[in-house]
Structure 1
Amino acid sequence: MQLLGIHHISILTGSAEKNFEFFTKVLGMRLVKKSVNQDDTSCYHLFYGDGKGNPGTEVTFFDIPGLGSTHEGTSSITSTSLRVKSTESLKYWGQRFEQYGVKHEGIEQRANRNTMAFEDFEGTKLILVADDDEEGVAAGEPWEGTDVPAEHAIVGLGPVLLTVARPERTERVLTEVLGFRHAGSYPSLLGEGYDDVEVYATGEGGAGAEVHIQKRTDLPLERLGRGGVHHVAFRIPDETEHAKWVDRIKETGMMNSGKVDRFYFKALYFREPNGILFELSSDTPGFDVDESVETLGENLSLPPFLEPKREEIEAKLRPLTLD
């Protein structure tokens, strides 16, 4: 059994409307699913991805109006990376960020790749990472329904950066439980006096299959709010393999959710020893199980077990105009 890479990242937002505007109009990603938080159906759940909603390309957001700000700290998923084709794409994005007034840095090296850090309107820490023909897990497909040229489109998820006080605890789970391998390290961009960032990879490796770990002992625990990352999910190829992973996690003795049927994928949740929420998600059946690829994200999608409550759910949801 081997994880394929990163499946999706889930973040909190205080404004679905502004969030939609940023991720579709500025970043040129596709809204591939408009649904609800299945654990709190009064809350919208928006999924942005590549042109076909492929696994490994989705950034998802739980909409919680009035949510307070994130207070940065340890035991956190500090930044999320988004893959682009090349360093030339980073130059394009630098110009586009200037055009839209997006806070961003210049091109910096992380794990021997050219990258560009930036933030959305809620301070979500994001990083563009250039593939530059690197081998590894395949990227997704550009979304054609945007003004971003296909050659510069965001086509998948890159590494996540975890900030923890006791990295050895997280590393042990990654390697001994989840089957990641140590793939190197690179100097922290925080400057002198900080430990190197350690890189762990799974599957075919590459940007879409890495977790980066930064040790920080000078920070309090993170207080999660808008712009903060709720959890990271890792890819399992199908539901048969997912069942084996459920058994494996149970055998470790770690507290976990057991199999959770999200309809679009099977899930399992657990917290690694530093308190970061991990999810294991199947690639199948996918987001086109109840919508055609051509019409993804156009309507409010509910899984079959919530469909009988559609009228009740829609009555409790606030009006949401996304255009």
Structure 2
Amino acid sequence: MSIQTSGLHHVTAIGGDPQRNVDFYLRALGLRLVKTTVNFDDPGTYHLYYGDEAGRPGTLMTFFPWRGAPRGRHGTGQATTTSFSVPAASIGWWKQHLERLGVEVSRISSRAHEDALTFHDPDGLVLSLVSHEQDDPREPWDNGVIPVEHGIRGLHSVTLSVTQEEATAGMLVDGLGLRFVDQQGNRFRFEAGAGGPGALVDVLVTPDAPRGLVAAGTVHHVAWRAPDEATQAQWREELTDRGVSVTSILDRQYFRSIYFREPGGTLLEVATDEPGFAIDEPLLELGRALKLPPWLEPDREQIQAMLPALDLPDENNPEFAEQRRSHQPAAATQTSAAQVSGSAATEARSA
């Protein structure tokens, strides 16, 4: 393959209640909601994008939240863990923070020069916070709630569960340009570009695990970065020449996308870095209003009538974050913990 990805672009999952989703990812994890839009293929459903201040590629976690959606099943043929990067000295702080919110967390585990803390979101999605011995230079979103020195830097890695690794490894290496770097037991690690947090994927071989079922609490697809549309078009042509079934290039407003499945079953995407999330609202106002692409704008009234009301917490606004840091830094985190909905904490414990 002549083209190589530089790393992860975003991970998209299926959620349940959209308000509960917003409360958890903004207030418990301290991410910023950088775009409130809809699933372009199903406009009666939100598409919520979380990330750093500007929603840069490699920091993004996105959701299709369907209220009342049935729970999915974790298993082979899907991404089973989404991991975020945090500073090396922050794992203990995050364990205490999440436990204070009523989220059940694992014991801190160590593997390959990394410490990891695993837990579930309110819909049962498996998440992990990973500290890596390699410094992560990305700046966290500073919302005045999560101390900036502990803030999430972006995506760290994803774990793909498969029944056997050979064909999936072949797609990662020959189709995406990743390289194999390590094996620990039944876990195989690959990295893209310069490597490190945001450019890693683990392939976990679990031949006796059930086949995964994509629904609430599971990952829908994993997206990898392409620098521009010309590179993406060439990439699509090369994949097609290799016999891979690839979609046409789709306009996702904030990037362009192609989709295909790796042999193990996980849906993959190649997404362009540009144009980004500030093309239809100012950086300071990201996520505050429902944004629709031009071809859906004529149906705005009907679409809004189908969507449940969504109350965006003040923590998403830079002005509020600055005010909170200035006037009540000591109480900020405790107040935020109390504001996370009881249903989120309860469901996280039961996941």
TM-score (norm 2): 0.85
Matched length: 311
Measure how far apart 1:110 and its partner are: 2.9
Pair 1:95 & 2:96 matched: yes
* Corresponding residue of 1:35: 37
Counterpart of 1:5 in structure 2 is: 7
Equivalent residue in structure 2 for 1:166, among 164, 167, 186: 164
Query: Are residues 1:157 and 2:155 paired?
Result: yes
Q: Distance in 1 between matches of 2:78 and 2:57?
A: 23
In structure 2, distance between residues paired with 1:203 and 1:248 = 19
8 Å contact from structure 1 (residues 12, 227) kept in 2: yes
d(CA) in 2 for partners of 1:4, 1:146: 31
Structure-2 separation of matches of 1:267 and 1:121: 28
Alignment of 1:133-152 (within 5 A): 133-134=134-135, 140-152=138-150
The corresponding residue for 1:208 is 198
| Structure number with higher strand proportion | 1
Distance across 2 between alignment mates of 1:38 and 1:320 = 18
Instruction: Give the stretch that moved more between structures: 297-306 or 310-319.
Output: 310-319
Q: Does 1:181 align with 2:179?
A: yes
Identical pairs, percent: 40
Q: Alpha-carbon deviation of 1:237?
A: 1.3
Is the 2:34–2:55 contact (alpha carbons within 8 Å) kept by the matching residues of 1? yes
Counterpart of 1:322? 312
Once the two structures are TM-superposed, the CA of residue 255 in structure 1 deviates from its matched residue by 1.3
> Which letter maps to 1:113?
E
Contact 1:54 1:140 in 2 (8 A): no
Distance verdict in 2 for CA 1:140–1:289, change over 3 Å: farther
Which secondary structure does the structure 1 equivalent of 2:274 belong to?
A: strand
1:129 equivalent in structure 2:
130
1:114 and 2:115 correspond: yes
Whole-Å separation in 2 of the counterparts to 1:73 and 1:153? 30
The 1:139/1:75 distance shift into structure 2, 3 A limit, reads farther
Which digits, 9 at most, give the CA deviation of each residue in 1:41-92, with x for residues without a partner? 0000111101221111010010111111122221111100011122x11111
Q: Report the residue type matching 1:225 in the other structure.
A: A
Cα shift readout 1:216-239 (whole Å, capped 9, x = no counterpart): 111221112211000000011122
Cα distance in 1 between the residues matched to 2:137 and 2:296: 32
How far apart are the structure 2 equivalents of 1:132 and 1:310? 47
| Post-superposition offset of 1:155 | 1.4
Deviation (angstroms), 1:34? 0.5
Deviates further, 239-248 or 256-265 = 239-248
* Structure 1 residue 20: Cα displacement: 0.7
1:311 aligns with 2:301: yes
Larger helix proportion, structure 1 or 2? 2
Counterpart CA distance in 1 for 2:289 and 2:192 is 35
- Return the letter of the residue paired with 1:220: P
SS of residue matched to 2:193 = coil
**Secondary structure, aligned partner of 2:12:** strand
The amino acid across from 1:68 in the alignment is P
How far the C-alpha of 1:139 sits from its partner, in A, is 5.0
* Equivalent residues in 2 for 1:65-76, closer than 5 Å: 65-76=67-78
Q: Establish whether residue 292 from structure 1 lines up as the match of residue 273 from structure 2.
A: no
* Distance across 1 between alignment mates of 2:242 and 2:301: 42
Distance, in Å, in 1 between the alignment partners of 2:282 and 2:137 is: 21
The alignment status of 1:275 with 2:276, answered yes or no, reads no
Deviation (angstroms), 1:96: 0.2
Gaps of 5+ in 2: 314-351
Residue 26 of structure 2 aligns with an amino acid whose one-letter code is T
The runs of at least 4 aligned residues of structure 1 exceeding 3 Å deviation read 131-134
Retained in 1: the 8 A contact 2:189–2:200?
yes
What is the RMSD of the two structures over their aligned residues, measured on CA atoms?
A: 1.4
Residue 191 of structure 1 is matched in structure 2 by none
CA-to-aligned-CA distance 1:149-203 (integer Å, 9 cap, x gap): 11110110011001100211111111111111101122xxxxxxxx430001111
Q: Secondary structure at the match of 2:76?
A: coil
TM-score (norm 1): 0.93
Give matches, 1:11-90, under 5 Å.
11-86=13-88, 88-90=89-91
2:229 is the alignment partner of 1:239: yes
Q: What corresponds to 2:253 in structure 1?
A: 263
Letter paired with 2:103? V
Going from structure 1 to structure 2, the CA distance change for 1:267 and 1:139 (only over 3 Å counts) comes to: farther
Specify the code of the residue in structure 1 equivalent to 2:52. D
